[in-house]
Amino acid sequence: MTTTDKYIPQQERPKLSEVCVYGGKQSDEFAGIRYENGSLKVYFPFGYSKPIDDEKEYRKDILNLISVLAAYSKESKSVDQNRQLNEDEVQFPIHAYLHVFNYFLNFGYYIENEMTYKRASSGKINWPRTIKQIRPKIAGERPNESVVYLDFITKRSSNNENEIITQIHQYCVYESYEKVGCLFGYFRPKKPTIPFNAKMFAAILKNKISRTFNEKHILLFRNMLDIVCYMGKRNDNRKASFGTNDFEYVWEGLIDDVFGVKKSEKEKYYPHCAWHISDKDSDAEWNETKRTALRPDTIMLSANNDAKIFVLDAKYYQYGENRESKRLPGTGSIIKQIAYAEFIEAMRQQKPKIAQGDIYNAFILPYATTFSESKYPMENFGYADCNWKNTEAKTYHKIYGILLDVRSIMHRHPNHSDKDIAELAARIEGRI
């Protein structure tokens, strides 16, 4: 079945360049996808550079944004005190919408003529199944006795049920087209004829999933079910969103995944504090506070085997986009960075397995550069220090400021690259 010759091109669908919003924070600092009153808008985090005027690049950016946001949703990350995607927003099953519409473009509407079999006294008899499954009766007396079947295995087409499945698929396809169709093109599927009934749709899909063994079809039905369940819980289906008002947590996760050591290894760099009370009966209880540790965002180890340690703090500040704003990490953040480094230096005297090279501190801030896939833009814009610390005594007494292109790191996620680590290390050390 072809999918494009039966549908009407809808020329009024907007170009992706008109859908995407780049640059600057929104009033509520939202980053993600919003559908409201028939209009789709995609908001990129500040510091995300606009691509060249090419629909393919806009589409890649949108799909990349969806992938990154999904990777740092509450369902994907179990990080303490991490708000990340908002509860009411993450419920929008955008991956289900994308899958259902993409399936339609590749295979058309789901249609199946499945044969079902049942035990009955009438109908179209399937003799091989009847002989195997039904015990016959013996009629007459020898030598004139004969075999008689009182019941049979009969077959019938389940076209009625499958026709409903097709109509549910048509409904989900049109719903997906309304929400995300402009990401795929301008072909408008026909409007569904079946009225929406969440309970009936869900019951039919669950039954179909339980009796289907084709993995491709199971995946389709599950995504259809996600759409149906989402719509059934919504009072206003004209609005939908997938994103976050707290992209700073996503920014921290990106830096940690691309540059940092694994979480299990990072834990040895966490400084702990504890009360020790003179009342011995209380001492054990107070020591439980050791579980609450200061946690550096990212620990990066040099990739060229010189055993250097870099303590990175990802700050989602707007300085890289508006340098006149002068919004930069304050005294508290600076002192914490030095405390992390001092702890690491003290602990590695007790634990030789911790890298023994120089320790460096850096803040990583977002900014946007001219669109380029081949580069990984970074910029060292200065450093912070404390007037009571000798910046020449310890390498970590200077906390360097590094600007990192948001688009580049989001398209690299989740790859962990020694080459990228080496370049960032060189920026921090001032070798570039």
**Cβ neighbours of residue 20 closer than 8 Å, sequence gap 6 or more:** 42, 44, 50, 58, 61, 62
Q: Which of 263, 349, 283, 362 is nearest to 315 (CA)?
A: 362
Q: How many helices (H) and strands (E) does the chain have?
A: 14, 16
Tokens of 66: 């969806």
Neighbours of 282 (CB within 10 A): 12
Residue 86: its pLDDT value, please?
A: 44
Residue 401: its pLDDT value, please?
A: 93
Residue range 133-174, pLDDT digits in tens: 777 777 767 776 777 767 767 766 555 556 889 999 999 999
Residue 13's pLDDT band, with cuts at 50, 70 and 90, is: low
| Residues 372 and 52 sit within 8 Å (Cβ to Cβ) | no
Cα gap 415→250, rounded to integer Å: 15
What's the mean pLDDT in 263-284? 71
The model's pTM is 0.75
| Segment (H or E) for 404 | strand 399-405
Residue 10: its pLDDT value, please?
A: 44
Residue 320: its pLDDT value, please?
A: 81
Q: What share of the chain is helix, strand, coil (3-state, %, to 5)?
A: 40, 20, 40
What's the mean pLDDT in 49-71? 86
The answer to whether residue 332 scores a pLDDT higher than 70 is yes
Residue range 77-98, pLDDT digits in tens: 433 333 344 444 446 888 899 9
Cα gap 166→160, rounded to integer Å: 10
Q: Given the DSSP bridges, would you call strands 20-21 and 39-43 parallel, antiparallel or unpaired? A: parallel
Determine what percent of the chain is predicted with pLDDT higher than 70: 77
The answer to whether residue 329 scores a pLDDT higher than 80 is yes
Q: Which of 71, 103, 64 is nearest to 85 (CA)?
A: 71
**Residue 150, exposed/middle/buried by CB under 10 A (0-12, 13-18, 19+)?**
exposed
